[in-house]
């Protein structure tokens, strides 16, 4: 087997050194009746060429050749080959969590740069070395707010990503955290009138997403004021991080939970991505996840170490801030490299292109008879349209034209059937937007 | 080493009684066991304490230890210098690095704790266990 | 320059370098930044430009980000390539971190994960155009079930710790459906720190049970502890001492008799794959760490994946969605599962990691047993060749890892961390120090199957040499490493006054 570096005679020699007659002897502590007699029933073994064939066959069964208008938490953005070639360097790819700092300065320095970039983007003072993804980052942010305030209720906007809310519910269920959902207005923003004083007084946090699941940007400064007046915190989730190139950062929020997939990480059918938690300096000891900090060696050279580890599970065990152990270091590195490449100008330009393309697509689609825009609030690269018939039917027809249509909101919002969330990024060519618009027009003209 | 007018607990806290007020800290033995202290988590002023109740934590780089109250009473003050200079606990645990001041519920309560001689004998016994 | 360096040449003979590094002076990326530079260009905009202030309103827009880097492509390449040379990696040599299973990460896995048609797929796209992704998930599930002898699986958890939580939530839901979720989960003192942390998030209390003098679960103790309140025992098998729980069947029976379940932390599955199956020895629910046993790269701390495998009784409680094959042979995601514990992460988990684990499994097929055998062979070989110089606190047979202690070296003032740091000078990553907690001064060594006899011999030679140094020149060991770009770093200063971001 090509991954195993031993010859049969070397195995024999090693067994003799150990003083065992056979390899079986080394497994004697496993009770006889539980030792497998027959080989495992598994496909393979496959050579490298066969493995590639298997996966190429699978890739061919997917959406190659289709144009997609899906966003809803996962975005298709430009990626540089530089990012991918750098993260494939064995020294990054095949190294462990940097507990032995002297021998892991590469990873630690990159994490320190990642933390810095995340602070600059979010307007927060401190960011961690990454979380699993946006959904778990939001959940951990809520648990953090609970610890900080000692309150056990959270007011969660319904316009937060439905799957993020589902993850939060799963975690909260056994921790005595009460979740109260808050609706949205015609602008698509959180309905402030629905925030009840008695709820606010007991709330650890108001939880919003911006841009929210409908693509609409929330009024965070006003929300922060309401939260703080009631002694609670503002937790802000960000699913589309490219928005931060032009959209005002959530500086007023107390905790920001972000999904960093938009920064150079492929959609990859749901993961791996990279989550982030950023917050104020004064809350750092309640923040979950690894942190890299700057220090020096005995001769005064600058170096980096994992620090404030006493918050974590391997020391505090059942009293830890979270059970998180691995983070998504390799994709934090990818995001760091990607953002360095893109830089100050590039990120802004990318964000502007997203805005321009979305406005163009919105105007094109709104022109179709029977189609109208649903929410009036400011939006970035996603917007919601109402169709005169079921989104599912429209999308089925679009699929025949090799177009993956917009996200059908009715799945998660019963009141929003016939509404769809359209996403357009800098990677969507104008001709494809025009093709979508023409196709929808044709489909809607056809009798049902 | 261990001030004669202090009283000591098995968990290595000390209390100095001054009328109806007490000052609480950790012992030199405790700071030595902990190693370099990097952070101290303090209770809120006004917290009501009972003997052996945990009122905060002390952290070194790789360990967290709870601190227990030697007496009952109400926290009236926490040492403000420790937030910026936790290393004081390693340098002057019996003096400048006191942790909290307490309005004692019962000024006689502390008399039930070990005096300096008893505490020194207690940690000498501990040291023996360690080397065994 | 460094007064400690004088003895080094004389003592180690071959280690001549004292903190010189080809890329000694690389700074932070922010320090290279200058206005107007950039490392990536976008294709021109093909629609009319939009003024953001007009489009969004000034209250919703921001100016350019202060302090954000401005560097060229070559500077990015050089910067991160230089940083990479400060890391150690499996690709450079043995990485004997106990309990971490740092094995070779096959390159073909990286290649297939990046294929157009796999890396490009959106998790919300319709099943009609996701058949390839769904089949990959389905095939991997089948393989994992066959390897573990379990009945049903979820691939959603993205880390071992999340797998633990998912398994515990399912146990809770199952017991609840029987009328009483119960209160406590038993955990041996040798367990990973994530176990108790996960138990708390699942809403249970932790009760620690002590290992016996041989490092095994004390079954009498278990009998006494396993009351009506106990929901489960969380057991790592082989234990963190690298030892198989010989009385595993009895342990399972005690739990089952009292209506409690057996959870197995599969962190150490690399000792078992192809040799024995947890499903056969009484385990009800377990997780696997695909970034350990199934070779997906650690990447400096993640991503990982922690699939959970369960017995039939727990199947109704799996997180949503569940991947299934329909009667017409097509694959689909099933969301309609009323008893489900919910969802622990958005979408289907770390698909890109799952895909690599399948590539690994296909490469071995039934031959996976050989990998297990080689891993166990390596650890026993190292044990045999080192047991005369290092203290072995528990003498039961080792499986994939061996745990020594620094008891003998401590007499010379040298502890496990010093020895670990000194290993760096010999070209090896340190082993795991200070874990498991039941061994004071633990030195936990897991070579994995990826090491040749030659590499094992080099490692043994290095360890023996350090043991000799500990007696003749302890200072040399205590001040190691001497060959890295920076020396031992001041962790106390880092924690007292945290500097967690660069500032201009």
Query: C454: exposed, middle or buried (C-beta count within 10 Å: 0-12, 13-18, 19+)?
Result: exposed
Could C492 and B86 be called an inter-chain contact, meaning their C-beta atoms sit closer than 8 Å? no
- Look at residue C8 in the predicted model and tell me its pLDDT: 43
Strand bridging mode A275-279 / A126-127: antiparallel
Taking residues C343-350, report their average pLDDT.
96
Report how far apart the first and last C-alpha atoms of chain B are (Å, whole number): 25
Please report the sign of the dihedral spanned by the C-alpha atoms of residue C49, residue C53, residue C57, residue C63.
Answer: positive
User: What pLDDT does A312 receive?
Assistant: 77
| Confidence (pLDDT) at C272 | 98
Query: What does the pLDDT average to over A365-377?
Result: 97
Q: What's the CA angle centered on B117, arms B116 and B118, to 5 degrees?
A: 95
* Cβ-Cβ contacts under 8 Å for C35 (sequence gap 6 or more): C70
Partners of B36 on chain C (C-beta within 8 Å) are 492
Task: Identify the H or E element spanning A67.
Answer: strand A67-68
Q: Which residue has the tokens 């098995």?
A: B10
pLDDT at C15 over 60: no
pLDDT above 80 (res A314): no
Contact assessment for residue C48 and residue A356, using Cβ atoms and an 8 Å cutoff: yes
Distance (Å, rounded) from C-alpha C115 to C-alpha C112? 5
Percent of chain C with pLDDT over 70: 96
Q: Which residue has the tokens 């926290």?
A: B75
CA dist C203 and C218 (Å) reads: 26
Contact list, A114 vs chain C (CB under 8 Å): none
Which chains form contacts with chain C, at 3 or more CB pairs under 8 Å? Answer: A, B
Strand pairing class (C402-405; B48-49): unpaired
Taking the Cβ of residue A389 and every Cβ of chain C, the question of whether any pair is shorter than 8 Å is answered with no
**Does B1 map to a domain?**
no
Cβ neighbours of A319 in B, within 8 Å: 64
Which architecture does CATH list for A81-338? Answer: 3-Layer(aba) Sandwich (3.40)
Q: Which residues are CB-contacts of A321 (< 8 A; sequence separation ≥ 6)?
A: A143, A144, A147, A286, A287, A288, A311, A312
Q: Tell which of B61, B65, B66, B84 to mutate to test the A interface (max A CBs under 10 Å).
A: B61
Calculate how close chain C gets to A298, using CA atoms only, in Å. Answer: 7
The C-alpha atoms of residue A205 and residue A143 are separated, in whole angstroms, by: 10
Which residue, among A148, A315, A319, A320, would best test binding to B if mutated, counting the most B CBs under 10 Å from its CB?
A315
Residue B62 contacts A where some CB pair is shorter than 8 Å = yes
Whether A210 and A250 have beta carbons less than 8 Å apart is answered as yes
- Distance between CA atoms of residues B88 and B96, nearest Å: 7
CA distance C258 to chain A (A): 23
**pLDDT of amino acid C9:** 43
Cβ of C344 and A341 within 8 Å? no
How far is the alpha carbon of A285 from chain B, nearest alpha carbon, in Å?
10
Out of A58, A107, A293, the one facing C87 most closely (by C-beta) is A107
pLDDT at A159 over 80: yes
Contact A100 C429 (CB under 8 A): yes
pLDDT of residue C14: 46
| Domain definitions of chain C by residue range | 22-84, 112-366, 370-492
pLDDT at A23: 97
**Could you identify the residue written with the tokens 């010859």?**
A7
Contacts of B87 in chain C (CB under 8 A): 496
CB C355 within 8 A of CB C138: no
Q: Which domain holds residue B121?
A: 6-131
Question: Would you state the pLDDT for residue C20?
Answer: 60
What is the distance between the alpha carbons of residues B37 and C427, in angstroms, rounded to a whole number?
33
- The Cα–Cα gap between A371 and C440 comes to 70
Chains A & C: contacts with CB separation below 8 Å: 685
Give the pLDDT confidence of C154-179 residue by residue, as tens digits.
Answer: 999 999 999 999 999 999 999 999 99
Which residue in chain A is spatially nearest to B59 when comparing CA positions? A310
| Each residue's pLDDT tens digit, C90-140 | 999 999 999 999 999 999 999 999 999 999 999 999 999 999 999 999 999
**Across the interface, which of C50, C61, C303 has its CB nearest the CB of A330?**
C303
For position A316, what pLDDT does the model report? 73
Angle at Cα C366 formed by Cα C364 and Cα C370, nearest 5°?
70
Q: Say whether pLDDT at C22 is over 80.
A: no
- The pLDDT value recorded for residue C2 is 37
CB-CB neighbors (< 8 A) of A285 in chain B: 39, 41
> Domain count of chain B?
1
In three-state secondary structure terms, C278 is helix
- Kindly give, in sequence order, each residue whose CB lies less than 8 Å from that of residue A338, ignoring residues fewer than 6 positions away: A79, A80, A83, A263, A264, A265
Residues A315, B39: C-beta atoms closer than 8 Å: no
Identify the band that residue C503 occupies on the pLDDT scale cut at 50, 70 and 90. very high
Tokens standing for residue A271: 């993961």
- Chain C residues within 8 Å of chain B (Cβ atoms): 434, 491-492, 495-496
- How far apart CA C61 and CA A351 sit, in angstroms, is 11
Give me the pLDDT at residue B130, please.
60
For strands A419-423 and A407-408, give the pairing. antiparallel
| C188, C338 contact by CB (below 8 A) | no
As a whole number, mean pLDDT of residues C482-489 equals: 92
pLDDT per residue over A22-33, tens digit each? 999 999 999 999
- Asked if B62's CB is within 8 angstroms of A315's CB, the reply is yes
**Among all residues of chain A, which has the CA nearest to that of C383?**
A18
Q: What is the pLDDT of residues C60-81, one digit of tens each?
A: 999 989 899 999 999 999 999 9
Torsion region of C67: left, alpha or beta (phi above 0 gives left; psi -120 to 50 gives alpha) = left
Distance from CA of B113 to the nearest CA of C (A): 31
User: CATH number, domain at B49?
Assistant: 2.40.50.100
Instruction: Round to whole Å and give the CA distance between A329 and A396.
Output: 39
* Average confidence (pLDDT) over C369-374: 98
Among C434, C491, C495, beta carbon nearest to B39? C495
Domain spanning A67-78+343-445: CATH 3.40.190.290: no
What is the SS3 assignment for C250? helix
CA dihedral (C206, C212, C217, C221) in degrees, to 10, reads -70
Contact A378 C161 (CB under 8 A): no
Q: Report the alpha-carbon distance of residue C122 to residue A268 in Å, rounded.
A: 7
For domain C112-366, give the CATH number.
3.40.640.10
User: C1 pLDDT exceeds 70?
Assistant: no
Which of 3.10.28.10, 3.90.1150.10, 3.40.50.300, 3.30.420.40 would CATH assign to domain C370-492? 3.90.1150.10
Give Cβ neighbours of residue C45 (< 8 Å, ≥ 6 apart). A352, A353, A356, A357, A426
| Residue numbers in B near C496 (CB within 8 A) | 38-39, 86-87
10-residue mean pLDDT profile of chain B (132 residues): values are 94 95 95 92 93 91 88 96 93 96 94 95 83 51
What was the pLDDT predicted at C329? 97
- pLDDT over 90 (residue A42): yes
C212 touches chain A (CB under 8 A): no
Per-residue pLDDT reduced to its tens digit, A329-348 = 999 999 999 999 999 999 99
Which residue has tokens 């990607």?
A338
Residues from chain B that touch C491, judged by Cβ atoms under 8 A, are 61
Closest residue to A330, CB basis, from C89, C273, C299: C299
Minimum distance, in Å, between the CA of residue A286 and any CA atom of chain C? 14
The set of residues, in sequence order, having a beta carbon less than 8 Å from that of A392 and lying 6+ positions away, is A408, A410
Q: Please give the pLDDT value at position C19.
A: 54
Q: What percentage of chain A exceeds 90 in pLDDT?
A: 94
Strand A178-182, strand A153-157: pairing? parallel
Strand partners, B64: B59
């Amino acid at each position: 087997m090509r991954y195993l570096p031993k010859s049969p005679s070397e195995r024999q020699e090693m067994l003799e050194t150990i003083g065992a007659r056979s390899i079986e002897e080394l497994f004697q502590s496993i009770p006889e009746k539980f030792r497998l007699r027959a080989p495992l029933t598994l496909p393979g073994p496959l050579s490298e060429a066969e493995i590639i064939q298997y996966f190429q066959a699978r890739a061919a069964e997917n959406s190659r050749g289709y144009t997609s208008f899906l966003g809803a938490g996962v975005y298709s953005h430009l990626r540089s080959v530089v990012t991918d070639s750098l993260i494939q360097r064995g020294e990054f790819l095949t190294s462990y969590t940097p507990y032995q700092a002297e021998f892991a300065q590469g990873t630690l320095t990159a994490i320190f740069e990642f933390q810095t970039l995340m602070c600059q983007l979010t307007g927060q003072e401190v960011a961690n070395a990454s979380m699993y993804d946006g959904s778990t980052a939001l959940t951990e942010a809520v648990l953090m707010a609970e610890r900080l305030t000692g309150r056990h209720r959270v007011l969660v906007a319904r316009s937060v990503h439905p799957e993020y809310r589902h993850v939060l519910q799963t975690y909260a269920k056994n921790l005595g955290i009460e979740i109260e959902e808050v609706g949205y207005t015609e602008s698509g923003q959180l309905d402030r009138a629905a925030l009840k004083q008695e709820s606010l007084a007991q709330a650890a946090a108001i939880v919003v997403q911006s841009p929210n699941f409908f693509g609409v940007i929330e009024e965070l400064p006003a929300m922060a004021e309401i939260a703080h007046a009631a002694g609670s915190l503002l937790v802000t989730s960000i699913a589309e991080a490219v928005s931060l190139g032009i959209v005002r950062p959530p500086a007023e929020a107390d905790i920001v939970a972000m999904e960093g997939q938009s920064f150079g990480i492929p959609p990859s059918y749901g993961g791996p991505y990279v989550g982030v938690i950023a917050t104020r300096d004064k809350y750092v000891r309640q923040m979950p996840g690894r942190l890299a900090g700057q220090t020096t060696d005995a001769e005064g050279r600058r170096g980096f170490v994992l620090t404030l580890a006493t918050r974590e599970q391997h020391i505090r065990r059942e009293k830890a801030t979270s059970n998180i152990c691995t983070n998504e270091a390799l994709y934090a590195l990818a995001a760091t490299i990607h953002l360095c490449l893109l830089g100050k100008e590039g990120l802004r330009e990318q964000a502007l292109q997203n805005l321009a393309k979305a406005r163009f697509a919105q105007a094109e689609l709104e022109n179709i008879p029977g189609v109208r825009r649903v929410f009036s609030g400011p939006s970035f690269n996603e917007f919601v349209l109402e169709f005169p018939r079921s989104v599912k039917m429209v999308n089925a027809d679009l699929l025949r034209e090799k177009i993956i249509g917009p996200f059908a909101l009715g799945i998660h919002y019963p009141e929003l059937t016939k509404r769809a969330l359209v996403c357009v990024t800098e990677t969507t060519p104008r001709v494809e937007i025009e093709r979508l618009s023409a196709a929808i027009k044709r489909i809607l003209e056809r009798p049902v | 080493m261990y001030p004669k007018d202090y009283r000591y607990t098995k968990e290595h806290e000390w209390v100095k009684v001054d009328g109806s007020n007490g000052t609480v800290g950790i012992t030199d033995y405790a700071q030595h066991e902990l190693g370099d202290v990097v952070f101290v988590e303090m209770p809120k002023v006004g917290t009501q304490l009972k003997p052996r109740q945990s009122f905060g934590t002390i952290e070194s780089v790789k360990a967290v230890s709870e601190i227990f109250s030697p007496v009952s009473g109400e926290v009236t003050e926490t040492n403000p210098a420790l937030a910026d200079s936790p290393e004081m606990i390693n340098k002057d645990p019996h003096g400048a690095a006191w942790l909290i001041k307490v309005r004692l519920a019962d000024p006689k309560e502390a008399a039930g704790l070990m005096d300096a001689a008893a505490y020194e004998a207690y940690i000498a016994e501990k040291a023996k266990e360690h080397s065994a | 320059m460094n007064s400690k360096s004088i003895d080094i040449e004389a003592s180690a003979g071959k280690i001549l370098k004292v903190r010189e590094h080809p890329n000694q002076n690389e700074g932070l990326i922010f320090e290279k930044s200058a206005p107007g530079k950039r490392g990536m260009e976008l294709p021109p905009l093909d629609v009319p430009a939009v003024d953001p202030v007009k489009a969004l309103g000034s209250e919703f827009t921001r100016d350019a980000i202060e302090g954000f880097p401005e560097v060229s492509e070559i500077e990015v390449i050089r910067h991160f390539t230089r940083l990479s040379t400060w890391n150690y990696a499996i690709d450079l040599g043995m990485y004997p971190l106990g309990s971490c299973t740092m094995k070779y990460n096959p390159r073909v896995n990286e290649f297939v994960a990046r294929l157009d048609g796999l890396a490009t797929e959106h998790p919300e796209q319709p099943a009609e155009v996701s058949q390839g992704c769904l089949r990959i998930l389905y095939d991997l599930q089948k393989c994992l079930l066959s390897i573990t002898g379990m009945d049903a699986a979820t691939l959603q958890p993205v880390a071992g710790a999340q797998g633990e939580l998912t398994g515990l939530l399912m146990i809770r839901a199952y017991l609840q459906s029987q009328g009483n979720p119960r209160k406590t989960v038993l955990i041996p003192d040798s367990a990973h720190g994530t176990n108790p942390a996960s138990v708390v998030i699942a809403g249970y209390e932790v009760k620690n049970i002590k290992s016996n003098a041989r490092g095994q679960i004390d079954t009498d103790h278990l009998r006494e502890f396993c009351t009506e309140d106990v929901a489960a025992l969380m057991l790592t098998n082989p234990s963190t001492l690298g030892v198989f729980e010989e009385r595993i069947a009895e342990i399972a029976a005690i739990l089952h008799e009292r209506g409690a379940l057996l959870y197995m932390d599969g962190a150490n599955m690399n000792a078992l794959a192809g040799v024995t199956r947890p499903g056969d020895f009484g385990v009800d629910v377990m997780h696997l760490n695909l970034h350990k046993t199934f070779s997906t790269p650690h990447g400096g701390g993640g991503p990982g994946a922690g699939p959970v495998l369960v017995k039939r009784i727990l199947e109704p409680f799996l997180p949503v969605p569940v991947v299934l094959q329909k009667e017409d042979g097509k694959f689909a995601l099933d969301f309609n599962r009323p008893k489900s514990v919910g969802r622990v992460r958005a979408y289907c988990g770390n698909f890109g990691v799952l895909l690599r684990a399948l590539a690994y499994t296909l490469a071995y097929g039934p031959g996976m047993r050989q990998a297990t055998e080689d891993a166990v062979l390596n650890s026993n070989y190292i044990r045999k060749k080192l047991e005369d110089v290092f203290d072995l606190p528990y003498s039961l047979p080792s499986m994939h890892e061996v745990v020594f202690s620094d008891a003998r070296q401590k007499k010379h003032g040298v502890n496990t961390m010093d020895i670990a740091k000194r290993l760096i000078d010999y070209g090896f990553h340190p082993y795991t120090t200070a874990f498991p907690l039941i061994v004071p001064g633990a030195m936990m060594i897991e070579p994995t199957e990826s090491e040749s006899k030659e590499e094992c011999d080099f490692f043994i030679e290095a360890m023996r040499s350090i043991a000799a140094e500990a007696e003749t020149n302890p200072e040399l060991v205590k001040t190691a490493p001497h060959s890295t770009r920076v020396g031992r770093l001041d962790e106390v200063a880092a924690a007292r006054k945290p500097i967690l971001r660069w500032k201009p």
